[in-house]
Amino acid sequence: MTSLFGIPIETVSTSLLIITSIIIVLVVILALLNAIFFKIGVRNIPRRRMQMVLIVCALMLSTTLLSSVLTTGDVLTTTAQTVAVFNWGNVDELIEGGSGTLGLYSERIYRDVRDSARDDPDIISVGAGLRVQDLLIADQSSRQVRSKVTALGIVPGSELGFGGMLDQTTSRQRTISELSKNQVYLNETTAQFLNAHTGDKLYLYSEHWPGERFQVYVAGVVSNDGLVGDNPFILMDVETLRGFEDINSALINQIYVHNRVGVEPGGSSVSDAVTVRLGQVLPHQVHVIQVKQEGLKNTQKAEDIFSRIFALFTLFSLAIGLLLILLIFVLLAAERRVEMGMARAIGVQRRHVILMFLFEGAVYDVLASFVGLLLGVGGGAALIWFLRPIMERFDFPLKFSAQPRSFIIAYCLGVIFTFCSVVLSSWLVSRMNVIEALRDLPEPIQNASLRESFQRLWLVLKGLFRPPAPREDVHKQAGEHSSPLVSRWRQARRAMLEIVPETITGTGVFLAEAGILPLLAGWWLFALGLREGKVLPFSLGFSLLVVGAGLMLKALTEHLFYRFNLWVRGHDNRTRARRVSSGLFAALSGALLLAYWALPFDILAALGFRRFQGG
């Protein structure tokens, strides 16, 4: 693969490697500075080996899927490039142009190119022929018909410098000069499609000679090399094909050039130089095409399709990994809840609990990503081994080819994503009530309002920027070993690790529950779908608009119902208000979403919207 998420693969691999190195160095530094908590965090790994194996197997799933996706992408990309190059056989440059529907020009141009190429050290041989595409061939002997076959009339002798034509039956070299007027060669691909053999009678049909057909006989089946590749070809003398096309003069429409070095590493400069030199001897009505390099450029379209599909699978694998990691660490926290409560009761701070889970998760992360990488690459190789014989029947040979950059991306992305998930889950599980944890009771629901969270943040920030108190006052309040700098550092650390994340989380939850975030995201996707004419962002945006409007209506209904109970009945009944508003939200939003997704998309055009594309 050459890109992932639209970013060049080299940039992605380098960036991920740097981020992974920073994460590993950061964890090592934290472990050195907090050696006791590192030992406490990792002590459970060797104690419970079966649990360790289960956790590693769960955490490695995202890395396994990711490495399998990248390995498969490398194989398909390499195969597409190989097929694109091999389809042109030994031809590196093609000279076309001329006039008419076939692009005809004089055979004299071929002789001029051949004469000039004798003094060119980079050109091995030059050939010429008349090429007619889209023939229909009927084999009277096998009763098989094949369309989209290319007829190639070769100037006798010009095929020899391209490797000749190896007869698949007798294993000897065949030449065009051996053919009589109504004899042809078939390449392997055409012979397989028609189930043709030497001596079969063929009928040729083309739109170039409407109402007519020509009868020829198979003189042999030749290999897919030389002037032809894997595409279906029928080969004959150029005079025979000129007779079919009713051409009475020495005209051709293609000249083939074979370089000493193709488009392998170092071959691009040779092809460019040959193209420049050929352009100096050619008349203006013809031009040079670097067919193999053009084929490689065309594979970029296939790579773009592959990269989009693989990026989608990557997102799915990362989402699965996130859910598994959060679930695993929540279960680990529930199992050790009493232990963490006792640690908090004897003076362990919340950040120490986060560090213990972080160290344990980091060890699991490194092990799981490595095991997942090995299993993913092995699974991709097994898949290629299983599909190779099937795809070879369709002339699409699969060859295992994995780039080292893909291994780096799979491992680093697995480490980074798992580490971020571990940090998030560690912060979540560290939020506990010490008394409830010691008693192993369920955690009480915290109903702190958004206003209270911002008030706490404001008080902490105001304390940070308040002028320092006199030193004697500090000693009286905090003890002889305290200082204003240490006190401010503790306040800043508490704000960064506890109050700021809780405030941001509370704000996000409030905006989501109020329907503001879904409305903003939905409107952006809705406008994007209308502007780009794509139905997927339009439909997602409409769905988010429905959900956002429903959440906003739910919040408004809950508030009005609460105020009504408080005013009429004189007591607070939030539970009933929440139940009524939730039922109303589910009914209205569900009905609208069901109605939209159940209707055919053609109805959007009937309602005045533009006709959308499929993606």
CA 492 to chain centre: 41
Residue in 181, 258, 173, 257 with CA at minimum distance from that of residue 222: 173
- 174: helix, coil or strand? strand
Q: Which two tokens stand for residue 301?
A: 């379209």
Q: Which two tokens stand for residue 444?
A: 């009480």
* Distances, alpha carbon 98 to alpha carbons 151, 207, 273, 287, in Å: 18, 20, 23, 9
**φ/ψ bin of 486: left (φ > 0), alpha (ψ from -120 to 50), beta (otherwise):** alpha
* pLDDT tens digits for range 484-538: 666 666 666 666 666 666 677 667 777 787 788 888 888 888 888 888 777 777 8
Strands 214-222 and 201-205: antiparallel
Distance CA 334, CA 29 (A): 28
Residue in 522, 521, 551 with CA at minimum distance from that of residue 539: 522
Q: Which two tokens stand for residue 478?
A: 């905090």
**φ/ψ bin of 366: left (φ > 0), alpha (ψ from -120 to 50), beta (otherwise):** alpha
Distance CA 377, CA 382 (A): 9
Distance CA 101, CA 54 (A): 68
pLDDT for 490 equals 64
Cβ partners under 8 Å of residue 394, min gap 6: none
Residue in 55, 47, 35 with CA at minimum distance from that of residue 366: 55
* Phi, psi torsion values for 366, nearest 5 degrees: -65, -40
* pLDDT tens digits for range 146-178: 998 999 999 888 888 777 788 888 888 888 888
pLDDT for 479 equals 46
Strands 183-187 and 214-222: parallel
Q: Which two tokens stand for residue 369?
A: 């990503």
Looking up tokens 């050195």 gives 32
Beta-bridge partner residues of 233: 150
* Distances, alpha carbon 40 to alpha carbons 192, 337, 352, 368, in Å: 69, 15, 10, 20
pLDDT for 145 equals 92
Q: What is the average pLDDT value for the chain, to the nearest integer? A: 77
Distance CA 557, CA 565 (A): 12
pLDDT for 345 equals 80
pLDDT for 266 equals 40
Looking up tokens 């095929």 gives 159
- Which long-range contacts link 431-440 to residues 24+ away (Cβ below 8 Å)? 431/350, 432/337, 432/340, 432/341, 432/344, 434/341, 434/344, 434/345, 435/341, 436/341, 437/337, 437/338, 437/340, 437/341, 437/344, 438/338, 438/341, 438/342, 438/345, 440/337, 440/338, 440/341
Distance CA 460, CA 451 (A): 14
Beta-bridge partner residues of 184: 218
Cβ partners under 8 Å of residue 41, min gap 6: 355, 356, 357, 358, 359, 360
What's the number of CA atoms in the CB half-sphere (13 Å) around residue 48?
13
Q: Does pTM surpass 0.75?
A: no
pLDDT for 307 equals 62
Residue ranges in the chain whose pLDDT is less than 70: 1-7, 80-89, 261-269, 295-308, 310-311, 314, 317, 391-402, 433, 436-437, 440-502, 505-506, 562, 565-566, 568-577, 601-615
Distance CA 58, CA 328 (A): 8
Looking up tokens 């031809």 gives 91
3-state helix, strand, coil in the chain (%, to 5): 60, 15, 25
State the amino acid at position 88 in one-letter form. W
pLDDT for 495 equals 62
- 265: helix, coil or strand? coil
pLDDT for 149 equals 92
